[in-house]
Amino acid sequence: MSLPSYQEALARPSIPSLVAPYLDLSTLRSASRVNKAWSRDMNRQLWGDALKSFSNSTHPFQQMTRFLEEAAKYRPDLREMITTIDLRPLLARQHAFDLRQEFAKLELDIGYRRILQHCLVFHNLRFLVLDELTRKGECDQTGFHCPNTRILLLSARGISLSGYKSFLSLPEFRDLMYLDLSYTSYSNAFEIPLEFKNLRIAKLRGLRLTKIPQFILDRGTSLWSLDVRDNLLTGDCLGALYQHCFQKKHAALAGTDQALNDVHYLYESPPVYHRTSEEDLTTADFLSIRPDSTDAFINYFKENCDLYKAYPSSRILPGKDPIYIHSGLTQLYISGNKLNSGNVNFLLSTQNRLQVLDIGSVRAGTLQYKTMYAVWTGCEMITPLYGCRLEQLRIHHSAVTRIPNILSSDSAVGYDLESLKQAENMARKDWSNRLTPLSHHRLKSLTLTDIPTKSYGPLIRQLTLLLKECADQEEKLAAVRDTMSPSRRAPQVLSGLKTLRLEFLPEVAAPAPEASSVSGDRDADGFLARSLGDFSFFGGSGGAEWVEKKGTGAGKGGKGGKGKEKGKEKREVEPEDVVEALRGFRRAQKPAGWGGTLELVWPRGR
């Protein structure tokens, strides 16, 4: 929680309200008995997210069911304190040993239908999080509804939705700003014409979508965060998003190709002020990254507005808050779809307003006899020369290493050594298209995907080069920062890359040619395979081994022949471990190396 602003300090904020977020439950209960003023602020902290308080009790599920069933009987001042219904802390305890029996007994009562039926009586309910509910639950047809309730966030991630239109069309959801329906089981429900005029953040992950839902396109530039990862979208969907949900491309900051080390690109852009009406929500200016996760969104509203105040319009945040600005898409998560390198080039070359982009691993644009993943073009646009504003990027490692990934089939979960050697031999030398932190100092977080865990040399050299470039960038920005005056009006120097995340791809055995079994018995098939080999009177495992021994012995040429045979032998080069090579490089760099955070994501199950 941030400190009070200057305006809040002038308004003399309540001291208990500043202290309450830092107190535990037992202290809050004790402090609520001090006096009337303390009771109001402490009870708001206790009852604002009531299920979070129940999750730490001895019988949390009993308390929850009783709380919902008796919600309509609570006195009005208590109902008005509740702003959040978040089941995640409660469901996290369902597998606790001492709570398994209690949860099994009440599981049928913990369903999203029953929760929706009872929780809508809370007048100030703003955030409803129903993630991972496994039960629908039964409910009466006559539910409690409060037309004055205005829910801003609905997260129904991973639940089995039915009767989709029945509850999303309730008046309580008319001002919905955050909608998360990821991994719900009824993707066909998106054909229903839904209408959320206030929607700013939409998460539709893992729904097997083949096109962007129409209600997303209808929101136009008012929608600024979209998560459609793990679907079946193609490059045509990017064209639809570009036509409906993106602002017009901003003019490049430089008219000509200046040197990338120009001091102009090392500073934040100065703020732009306009004399516009408060009702005008359109803008062509750049904004800071806005919160688009569940917790960050809830915390932003709790810190920047009064959730208990009655607002005449649909805008709860004060003034022209960035949340309401119609900036078009600035945060896009589209990895795990049927995209290729050409689609990445189209996305990066047709717009430059994205601040967060998750493109993941995409296929190369060329036809290959094996499955190839690579990003060959488009990365040259990630530079201030073209007005790029990216701060967080997740992309295939070939954008930096210029080395593709070659897999044996579409269903392969990793690489084999033969394909690895072939991929490293195909490394491109076009450094002008390579992504480097030295060309874009605004980038703060970079994630490279599908990095093989082993390398014959080229991949390790490219990754160590990236770490050197990070250190050079850090040194360059620090030198500029040291020359700045301590005045608060001085321009702000960019931070540079602070987090580098490497996601590794596991190694798998090379696919063996399929052969049908003669007898159906593994031992019999093995004996048959050995018997089909060359016969030899010299023992061992057959004639092939005898020929090899004969070739390595002293032949007709004596010692000279032996040396000649040894010279013809080719030594097999073993691949190196990438993680160990990076660890050794980082140790050698310290303390003069890059001071950022290097995160290594190892393949699951290894």
Tokens of 532: 């089909």
**Residue 407 covered by a domain:** yes
**Count: domains in the chain:** 1
pLDDT(414) > 90: no
pLDDT(140) > 60: no
Label residue 457 by pLDDT band (50, 70, 90): very high
- Report, as an integer, the average pLDDT of 137-149: 62
- Residue indicated by tokens 């050698």: 588
**Residue 454 covered by a domain:** yes
- Report, as an integer, the average pLDDT of 525-537: 49
Label residue 512 by pLDDT band (50, 70, 90): low
pLDDT(392) > 60: yes
- Report, as an integer, the average pLDDT of 470-499: 87
Label residue 63 by pLDDT band (50, 70, 90): confident
Q: Are 21 and 45 in contact (CB under 8 A)?
A: yes
Q: What is the pLDDT of residue 540?
A: 43
Q: What is the pLDDT of residue 585?
A: 92
- Report, as an integer, the average pLDDT of 377-399: 90
Q: What is the pLDDT of residue 135?
A: 74
Q: Which of 60-74, 259-273, 343-357 has the lowest mean pLDDT?
A: 259-273
pLDDT(523) > 70: no
Write the pLDDT tens digit of every residue in 18-28: 777 777 777 77
Q: What is the pLDDT of residue 541?
A: 42
**Residue 173 covered by a domain:** no
Q: What are phi and psi of 301, to 5 degrees?
A: -70, -35
Write the pLDDT tens digit of every residue in 147-206: 678 899 999 888 876 656 667 778 888 889 999 989 886 555 566 656 788 999 999 999
The torsion defined by the Cα of 563, 564, 565 and 571, in degrees rounded to 10, comes to 80
Write the pLDDT tens digit of every residue in 537-583: 444 444 333 333 333 444 444 445 555 555 445 567 889 999 999 99
Q: Which of 14-23, 123-132, 524-533 has the highest mean pLDDT?
A: 123-132
- Report, as an integer, the average pLDDT of 355-380: 85
Could you tell me which residue, 92 or 141, shows the higher pLDDT?
Answer: 92
Q: What is the pLDDT of residue 265?
A: 75
**Residue 468 covered by a domain:** yes
pLDDT(529) > 80: no
Distance CA 242, CA 343 (A): 12
3-state secondary structure of 445: strand
**Residue 444 covered by a domain:** yes
Please give the residue range of the domain that contains residue 391: 362-485+497-509+576-601
For residue 396, list its beta bridge partners.
449
Distance CA 551, CA 79 (A): 90
pLDDT(509) > 80: no
**Residue 479 covered by a domain:** yes
The torsion defined by the Cα of 89, 92, 96 and 98, in degrees rounded to 10, comes to 30
- Residue indicated by tokens 């959320």: 196
Q: What is the pLDDT of residue 403?
A: 94
Cis peptide before 591 (omega within 30 of 0): yes
Write the pLDDT tens digit of every residue in 34-53: 777 777 777 787 888 888 88
Q: Is the dihedral of CA 406, 409, 410, 412 positive or negative?
A: negative
Label residue 436 by pLDDT band (50, 70, 90): very high
CB count within 10 Å of CB 601 equals: 13
- The number of residues making up the chain comes to 606
**Residue 109 covered by a domain:** no
CA angle centred on 173, ends 168 and 176, rounded to 5°: 110
Mean pLDDT of the chain: 79
Label residue 445 by pLDDT band (50, 70, 90): very high
**Residue 322 covered by a domain:** no
Q: What is the pLDDT of residue 519?
A: 47
pLDDT(322) > 60: yes
Could you tell me which residue, 219 or 591, shows the higher pLDDT?
Answer: 219
Q: What is the pLDDT of residue 553?
A: 43
Q: What is the pLDDT of residue 315?
A: 75
